[in-house]
Structure 1
Amino acid sequence: MAQNPLPYPFPYSRAADLDSRIKIPRPIIDSALVPIIDSWLLPEEVDLRLMRGLSNSENSETNNYHSDAIIAKAPHLKHTEHIAPGPNGTSVILSVFAPKEPTSAALPALYHIHGGGMIAGDRFSGVTELLDILKGIECIVISVEYRLAPETRAPGPAEDCYTGLVWASENAAAIGIDAAKIVIWGVSGGGALAAALCLMARDRKSPAIPIKGQMLLSPMLDDRCDSVSDQQFEYGSPWCGVSNRMAWDYVLGEDRGTDKVSQYQSPSRAEDLANLPSTYIDAAECEVFRDPAVLYATNMWRCGSTCELHIWPGAFHLFDGMDNPRVPLIHAAVAAKQTWIRRIMMR
């Protein structure tokens, strides 16, 4: 039996000094984040068994445990499941977390697309952390279960997310949401799917009621993996360049990096970013996804779309998954997300 790959051998905060493979200058980790980033060292090579064991439910019993655990930490919510007819005879499961005592029959909705590099995770991944960020914001969270690569290559996962979104919009009254106030939330690999989903919705003119906004958080946008930030963090970083290319290979196979890849598979391939919903993009300064995120925002502005962009200095991939008021940088990043969500949902 193959052994799991070994964790990275050096503290991430000192990688540039200790790893002889790192040849080019790069920003340093914020001192307040050093104890956090150095407390968990990951393998450079992607191990599907490891990733799915850590983040993905294996059976319905575990699924129930996850939903129950989420509700246990958010007892003001109730959880329901819905099934939307998916592409090619498949079904797309949606988990809906809604207030037990809503103040309105039609609340804003946040459509959650989980992370995991498009190769791991499930619809419950990250929901507890998301609900923590949404404290004080009354809305309904809809989390979609999409098929994973490599079993389902892109754009299959994005098509699943699109199917779920259209179903939610068309059944807004039944699930208690305002179809005019749906915000798409995608983290890491989920950010790629969120961006692709918004391109699909624009191009297909469906849902009939336009999406209100999209949040792309440390998004995995570019299969070519050739930006400056990709090169700077090829080694010595959580979700480094080695990990990123391996995940994209799972997602796209031999087409990765070629002209065969479409914007629905890798959103950075889109040339026209006009007429997209209001967008929030953020990334960490010390991660491979930094420069593709900046370029995506720049191209949105070039095409006349609107985007709020944050690059968090000295931060690493997913450093702000849950608020920590004792670390000012984390608290600022979470507060920026909360402020944007409130502004977009309430207008």
Structure 2
Amino acid sequence: MSANPIPYSQAAELDPRITIPRPVIDPSLAPIVDSFPLPDELDINFLRGIAAGGDDGAFACNADTVLAAKPRLTYTEHSIPGLDGNTIILSVFAPKKPTSAAALPALYHIHGGGMVSGDRFGGVVQAVDLLEGIECVVVSVEYRLAPETRAPGAARDCYAGLVWMSENATILGVDPAEIVVWGVSGGGALAAATCLMARDSRLPTIAIKAQMLLSPMLDDRCASTSDRQFEHGIPWCGVTNRMAWDHVLGAAARGTDAVTPYQAPSRATDLSDLPPTYIDTAECEVFRDPAVAYATNMWRCGSTCELHVWPGAFHLFDGVDNPDVPLIHAAIVAKCTWLRRIMAPKAKVAPLGSVS
């Protein structure tokens, strides 16, 4: 299985499979998006290999690599019971020497990977980067992956971890009223589903402070305009996305009326009484229109949401800050600003640009 030889930044002009108009990739991002072409068809083993750090493990993420990158943090691990008789592992990263005596705000981290790959350490360093200057605890959950576990198994794991975290906040040094649920890509779907579960069950008993959904994978129907525009010629294209959802739900279930909001959050018709939300998405990705629709439905139902659609950007374009690329830096600053605004009332906050 090989990648399409046409560079992503030129796909709209050169790929004969692309027959409808679509936004173009920002020229400043072209060298980045073109540097790592991927096949349209999803290869789970390949994706899991990347998440594990490559063939030689040189880029693996684990507790040691997180602490090496963030030496001011400590690490602890908790094994807790899941809702299905399984065991869930929570990894906790906290300041070594907190300057505040009070319980700290917390970020509940749900990793990306299309719900088919990755682990609880993936993306933690990048999340801590965005929390620069905010004294807080990061709790990351290890959820079961598809297709070995179909939805809503992963969401049930994330929800169980959230409830345990809230009920054991004292052990973790966390203020249960100051928990922000965070998810990226496939983790964004799980974060949204977790917050729907929390609302519907009224557990945790102390309401979640906010949720942050970054390029979230929300809709199994894969039928929006952005799905059609980016069927080919983009990282995590429409072909890839449908294959991932087939693994998550089963090919026979995807797109049917049997799918629930806990499996695919875009299926929810009632988005009232949700915590304040930040959603962002790239203009040139399949997740764009479902993300915009989710924000719109939140507003329709009386919930509040800050929405960003980054023009000319592709999926996860801002995974690493680059001040020399204004579009990337603007997206990073927007996230940092929202986190500081949401977490500042209880957090000790240093000026942006200080060492975390």
Query: TM-score per shorter chain, which class?
Result: over 0.9
Q: What is the aligned-residue identity percentage?
A: 69
Q: Distance in 1 between matches of 2:170 and 2:125?
A: 25
Tell me, yes or no, if the aligned pair for 2:61 and 2:121 is still in contact at 8 Å: no
RMSD, aligned CA: 1.6
Amino acid at match of 2:296: T
Q: Distance in 2 between matches of 1:63 and 1:100?
A: 25
Residue 104 of structure 2 is matched in structure 1 by 107
Q: Work out whether 1:132 is the aligned partner of 2:100.
A: no
Moved over 2 A (4+): 61-65
Residue 44 of structure 2 is matched in structure 1 by 48
Residue 316 of structure 2 is matched in structure 1 by 318
Give the 3-state SS of the residue equivalent to 2:84 in structure 1: helix
Tell me, yes or no, if the aligned pair for 1:57 and 1:121 is still in contact at 8 Å: no
Which among 137, 145, 157 is matched to residue 154 of structure 2?
A: 157
Residue 352 of structure 2 is matched in structure 1 by none
Q: Distance in 1 between matches of 2:230 and 2:59?
A: 35
Tell me, yes or no, if the aligned pair for 2:109 and 2:181 is still in contact at 8 Å: yes
Give the 3-state SS of the residue equivalent to 1:143 in structure 2: strand
Residue 269 of structure 2 is matched in structure 1 by 271
Report deviation, 1:88. Answer: 2.2
Report deviation, 1:323. Answer: 1.1
Q: Distance in 2 between matches of 1:12 and 1:63?
A: 24
Which among 3, 22, 25 is matched to residue 7 of structure 1?
A: 3
TM-score (norm 2): 0.94
Residue 210 of structure 2 is matched in structure 1 by 213
Unaligned 5+ segments in structure 2 are: 346-356
Q: Distance in 2 between matches of 1:151 and 1:241?
A: 22
Describe the shift of the 1:321–1:203 C-alpha distance in structure 2 as closer, same or farther (beyond 3 A).
Answer: same
Q: Distance in 2 between matches of 1:51 and 1:294?
A: 27
Q: Work out whether 1:16 is the aligned partner of 2:2.
A: no
Residue 87 of structure 1 is matched in structure 2 by 83
Unaligned 5+ segments in structure 1 are: none
Deviations 1:41-93 (A, max 9, x none): 011111011011110489xx999971101100100001110111112211110
1:222-237 equivalences under 5 Å are 222-237=219-234
Describe the shift of the 1:64–1:314 C-alpha distance in structure 2 as closer, same or farther (beyond 3 A).
Answer: closer
Describe the shift of the 1:65–1:46 C-alpha distance in structure 2 as closer, same or farther (beyond 3 A).
Answer: closer
Amino acid at match of 1:52: R
Q: Work out whether 1:34 is the aligned partner of 2:59.
A: no
Give the 3-state SS of the residue equivalent to 1:255 in structure 2: coil
Amino acid at match of 2:2: L
Report deviation, 1:135. Answer: 1.5
TM-score (norm 1): 0.96
Report deviation, 1:326. Answer: 0.7
Of stretches 47-56 and 298-307 in structure 1, the one that deviates more from structure 2 is: 47-56
Of stretches 131-140 and 329-338 in structure 1, the one that deviates more from structure 2 is: 131-140
Q: Work out whether 1:330 is the aligned partner of 2:328.
A: yes
Residue 70 of structure 1 is matched in structure 2 by 66
Deviations 1:210-260 (A, max 9, x none): 000000100000000000000000000000000000000000001000000
Tell me, yes or no, if the aligned pair for 2:106 and 2:137 is still in contact at 8 Å: yes
Describe the shift of the 1:14–1:62 C-alpha distance in structure 2 as closer, same or farther (beyond 3 A).
Answer: closer
Describe the shift of the 1:151–1:99 C-alpha distance in structure 2 as closer, same or farther (beyond 3 A).
Answer: same
Which among 161, 175, 178 is matched to residue 178 of structure 1?
A: 175
Report deviation, 1:8. Answer: 2.3
Report deviation, 1:333. Answer: 0.4
Q: Distance in 2 between matches of 1:132 and 1:142?
A: 15
Q: Distance in 2 between matches of 1:162 and 1:345?
A: 21
Tell me, yes or no, if the aligned pair for 1:13 and 1:37 is still in contact at 8 Å: yes
